[in-house]
Structure 1
Amino acid sequence: MNAPAVLGRRPVLVTGGAGFIGANLADRLAREGHDVLVYDALLRPGVESNLAWLRQRHPRRISAAVADIRDGSALAAAVGEAQAVFHLAAQVAVTTSLTDPREDFETNLLGTFLVLDAVRRADTRMPVIFASTNKVYGDLGDIGLGLSDGAYAPRDPAIRAHGIAEDRPLDFHTPYGCSKGAADQYVLDWARSYGVPTAVFRMSCIYGPRQMGTEDQGWVAHFLIRALRGEPISIYGDGRQVRDVLFVDDAVEAYCAAWQRIGAISGQAFNLGGGPANAVSLRQVLGCIEEITGRQIHRDHADWRAGDQRWYVSDTRRAARELGLRPALPWRRGIAVLADWLREVHGAGVPAEAMR
């Protein structure tokens, strides 16, 4: 198959396009008739199957460049073909950033700079939409917390009602927070300094099909995989920490809407998560998984990990308003969908009726 550029068409470039969110985004773009160039080093276990899945579903729409995000020449060639860039390639784990901070720095910050520099040098001002993280806000240790129904909750009623907004001061913790936070700021500045249309999504916990969850990243899928195998789950902290989880289709909808509205929203950052309606503790998620699988989960407890937030919930009002987003899929329904997909892929041997 010829690459789209060879055929005279400019593809949409998705860095990290064989990863969890990237593969779902590439699938959506291809279904809508776009040619997609997946740029991925294929280093994360399982992502080869995501790329094979994309090629099988869209043999005339998907092309791939297997290369590292730090390979400036390969990246410049890919950007030179593109009409838009969704930059999702990253080192994604706080734990990894602590053990190998240089790898984290080079992948997340240098890699993002190389994307932006290639766009700056290109012959068109193509949009760049970047996957950032809620970790840019630090550990939120100044927010007073209490317990409500066995989960942490802010004492401030306004924060409890709406979550963390984009005007929250940035406060980078851990090498991962520093590398992603600095990259976040570079992307926003490229709109100011060079007129490149950019947008940033500071994401909370995204989950859904095609997620190869591990203990360090993708915790909802990781919990489900362990539960379906009848294996114990390690909880770092007391399990009362809260996140707002967002189903991947809703995240992809936001990315596509940002591209469609890039002229109006360029230079802005958006907090992207499930919002207060989908704010759940780890304990609540485990309870839901036990109901879905019909199995009791054995829990091992360990100390809190560096940079872990006791509570984080996205204020999604700006994203909903500016991007026209629909309400997010309720978290219990989303976890059931992910459980069905994992059962099919991993062959966990759980009766289908137990998955409903």
Structure 2
Amino acid sequence: MRILVTGGAGFIGSHIVDALITQGHEVIVVDNLTSGRKENINPAARFYFMDICSPEMEEVFRKEKPELVNHHAAQIDVRRSVADPHEDARVNIVGLLNLLKNCVRYGVKGFIFASSGGVVYGEPTELPVKEGYPKGPLSPYGVSKLASEYYLYCFAQVHGLPYITLRYGNVYGPRQDPHGEAGVVAIFGNKMLKGETPTIYGDGEQLRDYVYVQDVVKANLLAMEKLAKKSYPSLGKGIDGLAYNIGTGKGTSVNELFHLLKKVIGYQGEAIYGPTRAGELKRIYLDCSKAWQELGWRAEVKLEEGLKHTVQSLTPEIR
């Protein structure tokens, strides 16, 4: 199958590209390298250095004729979205619409969308959160992800474009940027390994659902199989019928995460505490039973094991 992966030079996207190529698929990568890295791109993929908002995306579709699009290119930083909601919407909404327009024009047969189970539900009162829980995003990033799900639903209804949404927890693992604004595991790990002091924002009791990147890759492969078999969920169930939470079903506090990393690395210091960040949720973790029932997917990598793999990727000398 010919598959276009947007954000295929990025953290999650590059792992998906590797898995697709291992399976024998023909892969096209589009990435503007804002946060992706060229060294992450599998040499067997065809690479286009391009912004997903560019009119030149049409030429990629015309030339490559992808059968499926796996969409991981995004502005992913909650704080950046609060500071510049216009740019967040440009990338996450206008970029999506540019892709969808070309999907319809060039006969794409399926679309996999990376949404965020960490932001679309808002601050839930019931945990773990199921897909049907009322939505209430508290950041422009969350709004853009939820709006994207509705656009996908609209294009499915109006144009017949099949899609599946994967609502991720906090994904971590090798290739996550330790110098970025998002990705606490890589950021903390990098600082500890350099003997620097990590900063925990707020009281550190915020709960998050940390899911290892290779588990996320498997969810994408299973979603692709479901689309290929034309057995995707009914449109009659709305956006939640077409969405799957992808997480572990367990909440881990930032304080607990810090101490687990401290143990893995052998770090002797303590964290410092900073002010709570705007738009940040207090508690979120996901009920992923639907993904098991309908995709045959569940998270398999335990947190401490995943942290060890991540730390090894940050430090070649530890391998």
Pairwise mapping of residues 151-300 of structure 1 onto structure 2 (< 5 A)? 159-160=126-127, 163-214=128-179, 216-262=181-227, 263-266=230-233, 267=235, 268-276=242-250, 279-300=251-272
Distance 1:71 1:107 in 2: 10
Gaps in structure 1 of 5+ consecutive residues: 1-9, 56-60, 144-158
| Counterparts of 1:79 and 1:250, CA distance in 2 | 29
Note if 1:138 corresponds to 2:122. Answer: yes
Aligned-pair RMSD on alpha carbons? 1.6
CA contact (8 A) 1:233 1:297 kept: no
1:339 corresponding residue in structure 2:
311
Give the deviation of 1:215 after TM superposition. Answer: 5.6
TM-score when normalising by structure 2: 0.92
Equivalence for 1:108:
92
Counterpart position of 2:239: none
Structure 2 residue identity aligned to 1:34: H
Alignment of 1:17-56 (within 5 A): 17-44=8-35, 47-51=37-41, 54-55=42-43
Q: Would you say the 8 A contact 1:201–1:269 is kept in 2?
A: yes
After the TM superposition, list the runs of 4 or more consecutive aligned residues in structure 1 that deviate by more than 6 angstroms. Answer: none
One-letter code aligned to 1:48: K
User: Counterparts of 1:246 and 1:234 in 2: how far apart (Å)?
Assistant: 22
Structure 1 residues 214 and 265: CA distance shift in structure 2, 3 A: farther
Q: Which amino acid aligns with 2:216?
A: A
User: What TM-score, normalized to structure 1?
Assistant: 0.82
1:296 CA drift (Å): 2.1
Cα deviation, residue 314, structure 1? 0.8
2:60 to 59, 68, 78: 78
* Alpha-carbon separation, structure 1, partners of 2:108 and 2:66: 10
1:69 aligns with 2:27: no
CA distance 1:328–1:307, shift in 2 (3 Å): farther
Residues matched between the structures, number: 307
- The answer on 1:120 being equivalent to 2:110 is no
| SS of equivalent residue, structure 1 residue 312 | coil
Give distance in 2, aligned partners of 1:84 and 1:240.
40
Identity of aligned residues (%): 33
Do 2:189 and 2:261's aligned partners in 1 also have CA atoms closer than 8 Å? yes
Is the contact made by 2:171 and 2:210 (CA closer than 8 Å) also made in structure 1?
yes
Q: Which structure 2 residue ranges, 5 or more long, are not aligned? A: 236-241
Counterpart CA distance in 2 for 1:39 and 1:327 is: 28
Determine helix, strand or coil for the equivalent of 2:131. Answer: coil
CA distance in 2, matches of 1:215, 1:115: 26
Structure number with larger C-alpha Rg: 1
- Residue among 91, 95, 108 paired with 2:79: 95
